[in-house]
Every structure is written in structure tokens, then in C-alpha cells.
Amino acid sequence: MRIERVPLSAATDWLSILLTQTSTPGDVIHIPTTDTDVVDEIYLWAQHPGDGAGAVKLTIEFGGVATKDKMVTDLPDESTIQVVSGRPLSGALTIAGFAATGSLISVWGYVNRIFL
């Protein structure tokens, strides 16, 4: 088994991804490989830079829109929090995100690509 740390597929030069969308399908964050011998372990943080309006609802979807396929959290004003901690995914399931207020929340992170 070998592990490589790689950037999120939608990130340029490891920079953050601004979530401009306010509903599904959202902005693409990462698309895991289709290789059946590889699992992507996702680590993701979100930042609310502060606009004085309070918490913003953030939704991260893992390959679908059903309740079981998404994570929803309120991101407090002027905060940075880890929102995904080591969730394994494979099979090219698109990870996407959106926030109740567009172009305010940004996400960044990395992938531990595990070669089985």
C-alpha cells in the first residue's frame, strides 16, 4: 500500500475554491479517480471571512443529493473549520459544495490517495 498527498482536483496550485453556487449541483470540489485499486481520503476546511450577517449554511455533497450523500453545517461568521476529516471515496463520485450565500464561503484541503 502506498499513500500520496494530492490537491483537490478543482483546486489550482493548492489554493482555495470559492463556492459561487447556492444550490445543487453546486461547485465541483474534487472528483476521485476511477481506478478500482485507489481510494481517495478527503480532508476539507471551509472559511467564512465574515460579512456581519451571521452563520451561513454550507452543504457538501458526496456523489449524490440524498440525505445520506451530503453533509450540512452552519458555518459561523468569521470562522474557519474542518468540515471533512478523512472521508474515503472512490469511483469518480463528484464532491461538490454550495452555500446559502454565493461567493462568500471558500473551501480548501487535500486528498490522501491510497493505492491498494
For 8-52, how does the pLDDT look when each residue is reduced to its tens digit (9 = 90+)?
A: 999 999 999 999 999 999 999 999 989 999 999 999 999 999 888
Residue-level pLDDT at 104: 96
Domains, the chain, ordered by start: 2-115 (2.60.120)
Q: What is the mean pLDDT of residues 62-76?
A: 93
Torsion of CA 70, 15, 82, 58, to 10 degrees: -40
Distance CA 62, CA 55 (A): 22
DSSP 43: E
What does the mean pLDDT of the chain come to? 95
Q: Does position 57 have pLDDT exceeding 90, yes or no?
A: yes
Task: Answer for the pair 57, 34: CB distance below 8 angstroms, yes or no.
Answer: no
